[in-house]
Amino acid sequence: MAEMCVGIDLGGTFIKFVATDRQGNASEILALPTPTDGGADGLVEQMAAGARKIIDTAGLSSEQVLGVGVGSPGPLDLKAGIVIASPNISGMVNVPLRDMVSDLLALPVALENDANAAAYGEYIAGAGKDADDLVVLTLGTGVGGGVVIGGEVLHGAHEIGAELGHMILVPDGEPCGCGQRGCVEQYCSAKFMADRTMARMTAEKPPTALRAIFDTKGSIDSKDINEARAGGDAFAAEVWDATARHLAMACVSLTRIFDPDKIVLTGGMAKAGSDLIDPVRAHFADLHWAMTEIKTEVAIADLGSDAGAIGAAGVAWHQFGS
């Protein structure tokens, strides 16, 4: 009898669902909109409905489902299975999400932080699937982190570890929303690259093709910067390269700390693919120590935005599958 685990990735816009087998082979992903007006009960009902649909579509009886993994934005209390707060999802304050989903589905549920779930997804089925030790950086509005060491997700003593976007990259640097200064997030996220670029366009008035885009759209994003760079815009090229170099610096520190097989970049900015990874690798080689040859590969993620759901299912396998 085939056994499966279900993974649920709770996002601000969509909830994604998947079923995976013991080897990490995944069903098609189901995406349902995240309800915005039913509070926690509405969310949990949508999560249960999607899970049932995934189970039905796969032709599974519920006896064949060993458990369900849920990846959620946080902060979470993992031991208690509670979402303490989740700024982008309404109604998620002190919600015992693990037990609510478990009650509705009559299945055991494991809760994991969404960035960790995505890292675990890349570890079991994506760019890190041949790695023992993996570090994942998610480059989106902020910079999220996930670390897997010998198959175990790094949580920390108080479940607030692997916040790699809040390593201090530049002493006394740009103020960060977290209250620190100079965080990785302020130099390497898509949002902050765009914000910094717009601020420099105002302050320095460089000649750049980005100005026309800004005048039309009222803002620019990291994709605009990369396209202008590809089109020969010197200012855009400088901004893009500075971001790649800051990312490479963070990757050097993470290599010294974790000595992982791989560091995988994911999130919106990683969609640039080789336009991002090529300069990051060049700077990484330049900044890396001379004591040993480079043994850590920096790479783009394989699973993109499906990693969270696949990793959530993997977390369920890890907890209920043995």
Catalog residues that contact a copy of itself under the rule CB under 8 A. Answer: 75, 131-133, 147, 149, 154-164, 166-171, 176, 178-181, 246, 249, 252-253, 256-261, 287-292, 295-296
Distance CA 176, CA 174 (A): 6
Kindly state the smallest distance separating residue 92's Cβ from a copy of itself, in Å.
17
Kindly state the smallest distance separating residue 41's Cβ from a copy of itself, in Å.
28
**Residues 6 or more apart whose Cβ sits within 8 Å of residue 300:** 127, 264, 265, 266, 270, 273, 274, 276, 277
Please report, to the nearest 10 degrees, the dihedral formed by the alpha carbons of residues 258, 264, 270, 276 taken in order. 70
Q: Which is nearer to a copy of itself, 179 or 218 (CB)?
A: 179
Q: Which is nearer to a copy of itself, 31 or 287 (CB)?
A: 287
CA angle 74, 137, 231 (to 5 degrees): 125
If 0-12 CB within 10 Å is exposed, 13-18 middle and 19+ buried, where does residue 47 land? buried
- What residues form DSSP beta bridges with 110? 69
Find out whether 267 and 144 touch, Cβ atoms under 8 Å.
Answer: yes
Strands 93-95 and 109-113: unpaired
Helix residue spans in the chain (DSSP H): 39-57, 97-105, 114-125, 185-188, 190-204, 210-217, 222-230, 234-258, 274-287, 307-320
Q: Which is nearer to a copy of itself, 59 or 179 (CB)?
A: 179
Distance CA 229, CA 232 (A): 5
Q: Which is nearer to a copy of itself, 53 or 256 (CB)?
A: 256
Kindly state the smallest distance separating residue 177's Cβ from a copy of itself, in Å.
9
Kindly state the smallest distance separating residue 132's Cβ from a copy of itself, in Å.
5
Kindly state the smallest distance separating residue 217's Cβ from a copy of itself, in Å.
32
Q: Which is nearer to a copy of itself, 54 or 131 (CB)?
A: 131
Q: Which is nearer to a copy of itself, 98 or 246 (CB)?
A: 246
Kindly state the smallest distance separating residue 149's Cβ from a copy of itself, in Å.
7
Kindly state the smallest distance separating residue 185's Cβ from a copy of itself, in Å.
11
Give the C-alpha distances (Å, rounded to integers) separating 234 from 186, 207, 246. Answer: 22, 9, 18
Q: Which is nearer to a copy of itself, 18 or 239 (CB)?
A: 239
